[in-house]
Amino acid sequence: MNPRRESRYEYRALLACDIAGSAGRGERRLQEIRGTLRSALADALGAAELDARDFIRDDTGDGCRLVAPAQLPKAALLFPLLPELAVRIRAHNRRACADTRLRVRVAVHAGEVRLDPDGTVSGAPFEALARLLDSAPLRHATLTGTGGTPLAAILSHHVHEETVGHGHEGLEADAFTPTDVRVKEYAARAWLWYPGSPIGPRAGSGERPAPSERPVQPEPQPVEQLVRATGHGTVFAVHRGDQHIRHNDRG
C-alpha cells in the first residue's frame, strides 16, 4: 500500500503580477490583455532559461501568481526575468491601441508555504505578497515616465536582503529604492525597481517608449516622492522611514 500523502511545508520564492487599470475596458479587451500578459510572461521565462512547467501557477483574473520550484534561487525571479518581461510589454505597447496597452505591477517575496496533496499552496507568505502587490508605492511607480511605466516591481525586504544585498549578477543596489508599505495590518520595508533606473537589472534591447505616448499624470500620493528625469532614465525616490514588520520571514 502506498503511504498516505500528507501536507508539507517548503521554502519557495513567489511572484505575483497584475495589470494596472484593467477595470473598465470591457470583457473582450480584458481577455485580450490577459492573454498578452500570459504570453509575455511565458516568453520572458523562456528568455530567462526558466521552464514555466516547473512553476505552480494560479490565475488571479487580471494577473497571476507563480510559486517557484524549491531549488530555484530567489534572484532568478528578478534578473533577467523582470527586464525580459518589461521588454516584451514595451514592445507590445508600441503597436497596441490605447485600450490594450499594459502597465504591469509585480511583487516578489519568499517564505515557507504549505503544499497540500490536492496541489493547492497556501500560507502567510501569500498574504505579504498580496499586500506588496496592492501597495500605494507600487501603484504610483507604474505612473512614472512617459506613458506610464510598462512594469514596476516591488521586493520584500527579505528578498532584497538575500539577492540584491548579496550582490547577485545583474542586481545593482542603486537601482532599488526603499519604501514604506502599509496595507491593512501589514507594515514593512520594501524595495522598488522599474525600467529606466540609471543603473540596475536590464536586458539587452534597451527599448524606450514610443514618442507618440503621452505622459500619465500621477494621482495624489500619500507617500512623499520625488520623480527626477536624468539623461539615462528616471529616478523614483520615496520617503524613508522606520518600518515595523508584524510577520516573521525566514532568513
Residue 207 lies in a domain: no
H-state helical runs in 48-80 = none
3-state secondary structure of 144: coil
Q: What is the pLDDT of residue 196?
A: 65
3-state secondary structure of 78: coil
pLDDT digits (tens, 9 = 90+) for 63-93: 999 999 999 999 999 999 999 999 999 999 9
User: From first to last of its 251 residues, what are the pLDDT tens digits of the chain?
Assistant: 444 578 999 999 999 999 988 877 878 888 899 999 999 999 999 999 999 999 999 998 889 999 999 999 999 999 999 999 999 999 999 999 988 999 999 999 999 999 999 989 999 999 999 999 999 999 998 887 666 789 999 999 999 999 998 888 778 888 899 999 998 888 999 999 987 664 445 444 333 333 333 333 333 333 333 333 333 333 333 333 333 333 344 43
Predicted TM-score (pTM) of the model is 0.76
Residue 16 lies in a domain: yes
Residue 209 lies in a domain: no
Residue 208 lies in a domain: no
Residue 251 lies in a domain: no
Number of structural domains (the chain) is 1
Residue 246 lies in a domain: no
Which triple of cell numbers denotes residue 173?
543596489
The domain in which residue 50 lies consists of 8-202+214-238
H-state helical runs in the chain = 27-47, 81-95, 124-133, 136-141, 157-162
Can you give the CATH number for the domain in which 16 is found? 3.30.70.1230
Give the list of residues 6+ apart from residue 241 with CB closer than 8 angstroms, or none.
180
pLDDT digits (tens, 9 = 90+) for 37-68: 999 999 999 999 999 999 999 998 889 999 99
